[in-house]
Amino acid sequence: MDTASLFRLFLLAALWGGSFLFLRIGAPVFGPAALIAFRVLIAAVFLWLASLWLKKKLEFGRHWRHYLIVGLLNSAFPFLLFAYAAQSLSASLLSIINATSALWGAVIAALWLRTPITRSIALGLLCGLAGVVLLVGYGVSLPGGEDWPAMVSGLIAPVSYSVVSTYTKAYPTEATPFGNAHGSMWMASLLVLPLVFFVPLRLTPLPCDWAAVTALGVLCTGAAYLLYFRLIQDVGPTQALSVTFLVPVFGVLWGALFLNEAIGWNKVTGGLLVLAGIALTTGLVKLPMRVRT
């Protein structure tokens, strides 16, 4: 990976890690529905302007069903779940939970695509499970507290990412990666906007709140997608997915710097276990082969 691609990789991780910071700022003010409606609509408009600049066609009429599925499972549903969770959980904790999508992906691929679970994947799942248990056990209040529904929502969101990732492998289409991002954002907007009429704004947003939701839509969604697809083009999908390891680092960093979130031993240990699990399940680290005599 050359220097330019490495810079894009760290920039992408910083943007995606920052999304949890802006969720934490905006969710208590806008509420989950309005916040995500603004996020996906702003991102859709940004990607539309980018498509005009880059002269990329959407082919909406041809792939609208595919865009609908991707928009629901990769944007609307998980974004709403994370926004709901961000009302009570810290940005650093959410960024670590988000990284478990790679672990869920191994399980879903084994069930759906009959992908074999090797020793490395099995050990990775155990490490990831231990990390999640540690984060959940020390990251929420006592049973009956408000944090438990938020934690459940945060854990379901990466499952949705994994389902749509497996879906795209099982049913490949001719839609381009940019088309997937652009079309899915318009579909996500159509799915989320009606919810705003049933869940009004909680508080009157201040200029800083509008700045947070704008950054969430433009930088952490629209621009981040462009960076991600550029990385796939330059270095391939495997190396581009290494951003998964960096997002929790920036998520914890931004939460500590801007929201004064404490970095306890449970976050460090649980986060390291989750990252170790990702490294094993994605094949970045493999156990040595058994030698038969």
| Cα gap 114→99, rounded to integer Å | 23
Least confident residue range of 56-65, 200-209, 276-285: 276-285
64, part of any domain:
yes
Note the pLDDT tens digit of each residue in 8-65: 889 999 999 999 999 999 999 999 999 999 999 999 999 999 999 988 888 888 899 9
Collapse the DSSP code of 194 into the 3-class scheme (helix H, G, I; strand E, B; otherwise coil) and give the result.
helix
**Directed axis angle between helix 177-196 and helix 60-71, to 10°?**
60
> What average pLDDT does the segment 118-147 reach?
74
User: What residues contact 257, with CB distance under 8 A and at least 6 apart?
Assistant: none
Strand, coil or helix: what is 172? coil
Cβ-in-10-Å burial (0-12, 13-18, 19+) of 238 comes to: exposed
- Domain membership flag for residue 291: no
Burial of 17 (0-12, 13-18, 19+ CB in 10 A): buried
Residue 292's H or E segment, with its range, is none
Q: Is 7 helix (H, G, I), strand (E, B) or coil?
A: helix
Tens digit of pLDDT for each residue in 144-163?
456 788 889 999 999 999 89
pLDDT, tens digit, 9 for 90 and up, residues 211-249: 999 999 999 999 998 888 888 777 766 566 677 778 888
pTM of this structure: 0.89
Question: What's residue 258's pLDDT?
Answer: 93
Lowest mean pLDDT among 6-10, 130-134, 137-141: 137-141
Residue 288 lies in a domain: no
Q: Residue 170 domain-assigned?
A: yes
Contacts of 280 by beta carbon, 8 Å cutoff, 6+ apart: 120, 121, 123, 124, 127, 286, 287
Q: How far apart are CA 286 and CA 258, in angstroms?
A: 37
How many domains is the chain partitioned into structurally? 1
In a domain, 287, yes or no: no
Q: How far is CA 205 from CA 69, 79, 91, 210, 270, in A?
A: 32, 20, 20, 7, 35
Q: Is the separation of the CB atoms in 185 and 40 below 8 Å?
A: yes
Q: Which tokens in the block code for residue 13?
A: 């991780």
Task: Note whether residue 13 is domain-resident.
Answer: yes
Q: Do 42 and 222 touch, CB atoms closer than 8 A? A: yes
Residue 293 has pLDDT above 60, yes or no: no
Residue 143 — very low, low, confident or very high, per pLDDT cuts 50/70/90? Answer: very low
pLDDT exceeds cutoff 50 at 124: yes
Domain limits for position 247: 3-281
- Structural domain includes residue 247: yes
> What sign has the CA pseudo-torsion 255, 228, 239, 286?
positive
Distance, in Å, from the CA atom of 136 to the CA atom of 155, rounded to the nearest integer, reads 10
pLDDT of residue 77: 97
Please, where are the H alpha helices in 113-264? 119-139, 147-170, 177-196, 207-217, 224-235, 237-240, 243-259
Top-confidence residue, 51 or 169: 51
CA neighbor of 243 nearest in space, from 261, 256, 258, 224: 224
Q: Is residue 34 part of a domain?
A: yes
Instruction: Give CA–CA dist 223/29, Å, rounded.
Output: 24
Return the amino acid letter for 230.
R
